[in-house]
Amino acid sequence: MTTVEGQYDIVIAGQGAAGFAAALYAARYQTKPVVIGETFGGETAIGGSIENYPGYVDIDGFDLMMHFRDQVVKYDVPIVDDKVTKVVGVEGCYEVETEYSGTYQTQTVILAIGRERRKLGLPNEEEWTGKGVSFCSVCDAPLHKDNVVAVVGGGNAAAEGAVLLAKYATRVYLIYRGSEFFRPERIIVDELNRTPNVTQLLETNVVELQGTDDLEGIRIDRPYNGSDELTVDGIFIEIGADPRADIPKELGMNLNDEDEVIVDTAMRTNVPGIFAAGDLTNASGDLKQTITAAAQGAIAASAAYKYIMEHPAACPWHAASIPQQEAVTA
């Protein structure tokens, strides 16, 4: 028999900017929300220094997410460190299953589960994660003082990672398959070009991870200085991320060609009572930022509240649990 861990008005899946913003607004609407997520802070928490979030000239992403979390905790919203594994519709409500903490009943769900980092798909990539292979430059850069490292990717994360790593490593190889970097902001590219110990290897792919028990080097498909092998102490894979679409697919949600959840301007999906926000969705196009995720989380919470008020009899515990109220002000 499944253990029901509680009945809630809104279950918010994800502990990133979208999830915490949704929780804040849901609490201020005097609903009963719960936040469930396996990783604190999402992409923002591991993104390093942030200079484009209004109100902060420069703030570390982890610290910013701690501010988000602290504000949610102020409203006594429970935060569960766990992974949502399944969402099942049951008689007008939903049961949200988790990996460890049981099952939660709710009338509405806000999916803010973000994206999964892409991998190169090479042998030993998984086994050597933490043994020279990393997917987070910001997290592991200090471990590579006086080392030689490689960064793979052509976007903001790769360029920023290379610049950061150059402060610790003696040499950084920035490897990208394209003929030019395709997405970094101009200011980041300028800083990259001013960093003397970063070697840019364009139109190049990593085809092999070399070593015995951990990473000792890589092989590339376009020789550099007459060799297709580079001796490196670490490789940072920053090649983007894909939406975590398993649960949306199981629920029959409409997805676009990139597997992003299609939402309307209120963050509603095609499944009644299910909303989505943040990098999981198509809401902000290519602009996947902390500020857009937070905005979408707030909008999703507002829409979920309205849905609950419009369907008071859908789940038996809702009619008495949420007071009628005026609109929430900023």
For 259-277, the pLDDT digits (tens) are 999 999 999 999 999 999 9
* 3-class DSSP state of 63: helix
Kindly list the domain boundaries of the chain, sorted by start residue.
4-117+241-310, 133-237
CA–CA distance, 13 with 114 (Å, rounded to integer): 10
Q: How confident is the model at residue 2 (pLDDT cuts 50, 70, 90)?
A: very low
For residue 158, the model assigns a pLDDT of 92
**For residues 218-235, average pLDDT:** 97
Answer with the residue of higher pLDDT: 313 or 84: 84
Is residue 327 predicted with pLDDT exceeding 90?
no
The model's confidence at residue 319, banded by pLDDT at 50, 70 and 90, is: low
What is the average pLDDT score of the chain?
A: 92
Across 200-226, average pLDDT: 96
Is the per-residue pLDDT at 322 higher than 80? no
Mean pLDDT, residues 13-28: 98
CB 176, CB 204: distance < 8 Å:
yes
Long-range contacts of 45-51 (CB under 8 A, 24+ apart): 45/16, 46/136, 46/138, 46/139, 47/138, 47/157, 47/290, 48/137, 48/138, 48/160, 48/164, 50/290
- Cα 300–29–71 angle (5° rounding)? 85
Please tell me the CATH superfamily of domain 133-237, with its number.
FAD/NAD(P)-binding domain (3.50.50.60)
Most confident option among 48-52, 82-86, 308-312: 82-86
Q: What span, in angstroms and rounded, lies between the C-alpha atoms of 23 and 31?
A: 10
**Where residue 325 falls among pLDDT bands split at 50, 70, 90?**
low
- Written as six digits, the tokens of 153 are 């990717």
| Mean pLDDT for the stretch of residues 31-36 | 97
CATH class of the domain at 4-117+241-310: alpha beta
pLDDT in tens, 83-101: 999 999 998 899 999 999 9
**Is 4-117+241-310's fold the same as 133-237's?**
yes
> Cβ distance 74 to 48 under 8 Å?
no
pLDDT (tens digit, 9 = 90+) per residue, 100-117?
999 999 999 999 999 999
Q: How far is CA 180 from CA 158, 206, 300, in A?
A: 13, 16, 37
Residue 241: its H or E element: strand 241-243
* CA–centroid distance for 240 within its chain: 11
pTM of the full predicted structure? 0.84
Q: What percent of the chain has pLDDT over 70?
A: 94
